Amino acid sequence: MKNLLPVALAAVLLLTRFQPVLAEAAPPQPATRGWADAVESALVQAGTNRQELVLALEKTSGEQRDSVEFLITNMPPRDLQSLSSQFLLENVSLARKALEDAPWARSVPREVFLNDILPYASVTEQRDNWRQRIHDICQPLVKECKTAGQAAQALNQKIFPLLKVKYSTQRRVADQGPLETMRTGVATCTGLSILLVDACRSVGVPARVVGTPMWSNNSGNHTWVEIWDGDWHFVGAAEPDPKGLDRGWFVGNASQAVRNDRAHAIYASSFKKTGLTFPLGWTRGDAEYVSAVNVTDRYASGDKAVDVATTRLQVNALNRPMGQRVAARVTITDTVDAALRFEGTSKTEPADMNDHMGFKLPQRRTYIIDAEQGGQKVRKYYSPGTNKEDLLVLHLSGVPVVIASGPGYCAAPSRKKPLDAKEEAALKGAAKAYFSATGEKQATFKFPSALNSLLSRNEPAVRRAVWDAYLSAPIHEALRLSYGENQVRSGKYASPYTVKTVGKRPPNGWGLFIAMHGGGGVPQEINDSQWRHMQIYYRDHPEVGGYRYVALRAPNNEWNGFYTGYVYPLIASLVRQFVIFGDVDPNKVFVMGYSHGGYGAFAIGPKMPDRFAAVHASAGAPADGILPQSLRNTPFTYMVGEKDTAYGRIDRNREFDQAIGKLRGDRRDIFPVTLTVIADHPHSGLPDRDKIAEMYPAVRNPVPTDLTWPLTDAVVRDFFWLEAPHPEKGQEFDASCHDNRLTVRTTNLAEGAILLDGRLVDFRERLTLDLNGRVSRIKLTPSLRTLCETMLRRGDPDLAFTSRLDLPLKSGARADARK
């Protein structure tokens, strides 16, 4: 027992010795630490920087201690883990001194000081030690000011020219800190707003950053400043108005903000945690540590009354697609009443990128918009429909001209020499007999030689008569039934559609616009809803010419419902339906789509451009395997939002644009393909609803003299006047026809044919064929059989030809001109 006593005593002493260490490791109690639980909770997140923050607390007392506690309590983790005690103490001291020296100090509530003068940052900018430097610059500028509002107005007028800072999209990042803006001299609206807020705070003016992720008209986002002078007032940074505060170019947009729509509401930054996150327009997603206050009501409640009979059109002019803004002279003229005319000059830097020239246009009219700058001109058609606001971007260069259409023999009957009545009757009878025959009988069908002679003498009139015979032949019953059901079929696939007629019938027949909906790999009810929306999506434009508007439902609910092998025969059958039964001009057929439908347009257009006058894709992208080379002769436009990054959409669009640029080189007469990127815009809400008016003037050229055809599947076998009976991916078929010289280059093509007629060659002269470097001379003869065969197969009068030349692609073979 005596031996155990020293051991027990030693144990007690040991525990006593280490008790202070154990107590220090435990969470400190309020009575000993001297700060509130909220401060301690923040300190826990500081990690190894805790001691710096504790030092700042220990070196202050009274109101300065309150200020330090406010900052630490509301700091984001990035600041808790990095800011020094010296940084905080200097910031607190200078902020309090600035307010104490201000004539309006007594009118600033404590909570406003803490949240809108004291903080060293507004949003996500770099944490600069700016306060003393900016105070020394700004204090002399406001020494005569008696109110915070006067001081803010003076600073906004003077600091930007004094610091040689201007608006420019060439800044490094949108949310740059004030010292970087001062060093580089450039910033966009966010950087300018941060600098103005810090300038105001440096002299005791409460200020905060305000912004919206997207205006309700989807024209862009914006950031500006609010200052406190008895209440909150707004001002555009570097955009002072001599009439005072609460004025700016964005007032109209702000008045239409939507409080309960996160994308279209207006938010003010708050250093104090609010539970609401400030939406950042300059990053992907939000920085959760940037708190906000929803201030939409202050803006939206002031001016909700918008004249329902007018549209506020904003116009932006660029020197080229994705280029710089320029000051272009813009004229807007009503297409019916030339006296209704508007003029103005578009804005360029240093105006904010979302500050556009505006016009108030009467609705339900169509306008011609002309822009000119430095000898460059552009013209567009525009109809506001019933929009309250709209944005139009004009490109003064870099957009290829639309290639003039070919002679389209079925387009102008008055220009053809009429056939003798007996000749016409004989011709139609023979052609109708051929069309009505079985395939076996067609193979041995013989046309009278006199009719072939007639074809040689008057090809345009014979083509017209053969087309009439084709239309009247009893071979279209299945197609007629589908047309009556508003449905198109191909194999096991079927797609319903709706159709409406717009405007008056043009002399050569109706135009046809095929519109494809969004959705895709989603449930049936969503795709159906998207289809219903597409039925009204593109605005009617009867003033540009008459047309049928077809909203096509995808044949299934699959991801690639509009861009896989079964779609191309469906589209060809749909066009055939409307050409035969819908009185449609085959040279005025257009295809367009949004999102899922945009992907469809990106596939259908390059694979079968010979069917269309023009193609447009919105919010889509080229899928794997879609190649641009086939768009040499077909107007193709595509639009995407700058922030539409899902599935690599924006990147794929830009890569496609770069490929087009390489193919086009310095020429402006080929590849009429144009990409439009809508700045600061997401996937939805692209400004494309008037595309019909822009596309309508285009007319298909069915016989371009130069063709480039990269084959990408085993489905599409025809391409203008080229035929690949057994198409395969990886083949290429290029041809040009000039002055009776036919130059053909092929890659991996085992079998191919050239289809010709009087639009391409002079049958009185021999044809020179240059096939992969082998040159030969060939005599061609027009054939009524070939005309009927190709018309039956294509169902298109202008894609029917009178001579077929089978190419000798196999070793030792010779060119074969069929009769």
Q: Does some domain include residue 11? A: no
Q: What share of the chain has pLDDT > 90, as a percent? A: 67
- Nearest of 232, 255, 233 to residue 301 by alpha carbon: 255
Q: What is the CA radius of gyration of the chain?
A: 36
- Nearest of 774, 778, 777 to residue 746 by alpha carbon: 774
Mean pLDDT calculated for residue range 439-468: 95
| Tens-digit pLDDT profile for residues 249-258 | 888 888 888 8
- Residue count of the chain: 819
Could you tell me the sign of the dihedral formed by the alpha carbons of 468, 472, 477, 483, in that order? positive
| Tens-digit pLDDT profile for residues 636-646 | 999 999 999 99
User: Residue 339 phi/psi, 5° resolution?
Assistant: -70, -20
Judgement on whether residues 453 and 548 belong to the same structural domain of the protein: no
Predicted pLDDT of residue 544: 86
Separation CA 251–CA 657 (nearest Å): 36
Judgement on whether residues 172 and 80 belong to the same structural domain of the protein: yes
Q: Name residues whose C-beta falls within 8 Å of residue 271's C-beta, 6 or more positions apart in sequence.
A: 71, 74, 114, 115, 116, 118, 119, 121, 291
CB crowding 616-652: b at 16 or more within 10 Å, else e:
bbbbbbbeeebbbbbbbbbbbbbbbbebbeeeebbeb
Predicted pLDDT of residue 398: 61
Judge whether 52 and 84 are in contact, CB under 8 Å.
Answer: yes
Q: What share of the chain has pLDDT > 70, as a percent? A: 89
Q: 3-state class of 577 per DSSP?
A: helix
Q: Does some domain include residue 29? A: no
Separation CA 737–CA 703 (nearest Å): 10
Q: 3-state class of 712 per DSSP?
A: coil
- Nearest of 550, 532, 435 to residue 791 by alpha carbon: 435
- Of 276, 300, 324, the residue that ends a domain is 300
| The token pair that represents 289 in the structure block | 């540590």
Separation CA 286–CA 278 (nearest Å): 7
Q: Does some domain include residue 675? A: yes
Judgement on whether residues 113 and 242 belong to the same structural domain of the protein: yes
Judgement on whether residues 89 and 210 belong to the same structural domain of the protein: yes
- Nearest of 193, 21, 197, 186 to residue 117 by alpha carbon: 197
Q: Name residues whose C-beta falls within 8 Å of residue 563's C-beta, 6 or more positions apart in sequence.
A: 599, 600, 602, 603, 604, 623
Q: Name residues whose C-beta falls within 8 Å of residue 109's C-beta, 6 or more positions apart in sequence.
A: none
Judgement on whether residues 452 and 542 belong to the same structural domain of the protein: no
Judgement on whether residues 669 and 688 belong to the same structural domain of the protein: yes
Mean pLDDT calculated for residue range 47-52: 93
User: Residue 270 phi/psi, 5° resolution?
Assistant: -140, 125
Judgement on whether residues 296 and 147 belong to the same structural domain of the protein: yes
Q: Is residue 697 pLDDT above 90, yes or no?
A: no
Q: Is residue 160 pLDDT above 90, yes or no?
A: yes
Q: Does some domain include residue 228? A: yes
- Nearest of 229, 235, 296 to residue 264 by alpha carbon: 296
Angstrom distances, CA of residue 610 to CA of 160, 546, 626, 635, 670: 56, 22, 16, 11, 15
Over the chain, what is the mean pLDDT? Answer: 88
Q: 3-state class of 655 per DSSP?
A: helix
Q: Is residue 456 pLDDT above 70, yes or no?
A: yes
| Tens-digit pLDDT profile for residues 172-228 | 888 899 999 999 998 888 899 999 999 999 999 999 999 998 877 666 788 999 999
Q: 3-state class of 324 per DSSP?
A: coil
Judgement on whether residues 316 and 211 belong to the same structural domain of the protein: no
Mean pLDDT calculated for residue range 121-125: 91
As for how many domains the chain has, the answer is: 4
- Nearest of 736, 724, 799 to residue 767 by alpha carbon: 736
Q: 3-state class of 782 per DSSP?
A: coil
| Tens-digit pLDDT profile for residues 723-742 | 999 999 999 999 999 999 99
Q: How confident is the model at residue 538 (pLDDT cuts 50, 70, 90)?
A: very high
DSSP class of residue 325 equals B
- Of 395, 423, 446, the residue that ends a domain is 395
User: Residue 324 phi/psi, 5° resolution?
Assistant: -95, 150
Judgement on whether residues 739 and 693 belong to the same structural domain of the protein: no
CATH for 386: 2.60.40.10
Residue with the bigger pLDDT between 618 and 389: it is 618
Q: How confident is the model at residue 78 (pLDDT cuts 50, 70, 90)?
A: very high
Judgement on whether residues 691 and 567 belong to the same structural domain of the protein: yes
Predicted pLDDT of residue 400: 53
**Stretch among 309-313, 494-498, 698-702 having the lowest mean pLDDT:** 309-313
Q: Is residue 85 pLDDT above 50, yes or no?
A: yes
Q: Does some domain include residue 71? A: yes
Q: Is residue 232 pLDDT above 80, yes or no?
A: yes
220 by Cβ neighbours in 10 Å (0-12 / 13-18 / 19+) ranks as buried
For residues 790, 794, 798 and 801, what is the CA-based torsion angle, rounded to 10 degrees?
-20
For residue 103, the enclosing domain spans 56-300
Q: Does some domain include residue 18? A: no
Could you tell me the sign of the dihedral formed by the alpha carbons of 529, 534, 535, 539, in that order? positive
- Of 367, 395, 423, the residue that ends a domain is 395
In the block, tokens 């001379």 appear at 777
Separation CA 654–CA 676 (nearest Å): 10
| Tens-digit pLDDT profile for residues 556-586 | 999 899 999 999 999 999 999 999 999 999 9
Separation CA 731–CA 294 (nearest Å): 59
Judgement on whether residues 752 and 615 belong to the same structural domain of the protein: no
Q: Does some domain include residue 158? A: yes
Q: How confident is the model at residue 403 (pLDDT cuts 50, 70, 90)?
A: very low
Q: Does some domain include residue 82? A: yes
- Provide the whole-model pTM: 0.59
Judgement on whether residues 284 and 326 belong to the same structural domain of the protein: no
